[in-house]
Structure formats: structure tokens, C-alpha cells
Amino acid sequence: MIATFSEEEKLYLNSMFEMYDTYEDFIQGIESVMENIEDYVKDEFSKKYLPEFLKSILPRVKQMSDEDYETLKQKPFKLSISIDEDSKLNS
């Protein structure tokens, strides 16, 4: 069973899927960012919160099988966006 992720986590994972070819590379990429945060992000907010965020998702990412990873990579997560009817543009 694939671990569950929040919408924010899915968005981040989607951005990382494109950077790695294999599941092992994907996990190593997350670990590398965690260990070398200064090399990856410049803003203070990300430096402060990204390591904790990655630390929270890494155990769930490691629960995925290679097949789960390939399935998710082929069918990326989609964020659901709702639009208020009053905010739609008139055609």
C-alpha cells in the first residue's frame, strides 16, 4: 500500500520525481537535501522548515516499493483546485 501524503507533500514530491530516474536516487536526493540544506535553498524560511518537512515524509517515501514509485512517477499527483463561481471570468 502506498503511504498517504498531504497535498503540500504531493506537490513537493512531484517536483522531485522529474529529477531522479530511480527510486534509490530519489531517496538519496531527499537525504542529500536534508544533509546539505545550505547548498539547495537560499531563503531563511526554507532553511528553517524544509529539513523538518523532509524528515517527516522520508519514512513514508521509504515505505514505497519500486513499483509504487514507478506508478506514481507515471501518474503524477494532481492537486485539486476549486474555483469560486463568483470569481470565474465571463466568456
Per-residue pLDDT tens for 46-67? 888 888 889 998 998 888 877 7
Task: Tell me the pLDDT tens digit for each residue of 62-71.
Answer: 888 777 777 7
Three-state DSSP at 42 gives coil
| Structure confidence at residue 48 (pLDDT) | 87
What percentage of the chain reaches a pLDDT higher than 70? 77
Q: What is the pLDDT of residue 32?
A: 92
pLDDT band at 80 (very low <50, low <70, confident <90, very high): low
User: DSSP code of 40?
Assistant: H
11 belongs to a structural domain: yes
Residue the block writes with cell 536526493: 29
Domain assignment of residue 40, given as a range: 7-74
As given in the structure block, the three cell numbers for residue 40 are 539547495
Cβ–Cβ < 8 Å for 16, 29: yes
Q: Is residue 85 part of a domain?
A: no
Residue 82 domain-assigned (yes or no)? no
What is the pTM assigned to this prediction?
0.65
- Split into its structural domains, the chain has a count of 1
- 73: CB partners within 8 A, 6+ apart: 17
- Whether 80 maps to a domain, the answer reads no
Residue 90 lies in a domain: no
Whether 87 maps to a domain, the answer reads: no
Rounded to whole angstroms, the Cα distance separating 78 from 64 reads 19
Q: CA 17, 18, 19 angle in degrees (round to 5)?
A: 95
Per-residue model confidence (pLDDT) at position 90: 47
Query: Does residue 21 belong to any structural domain of this protein?
Result: yes
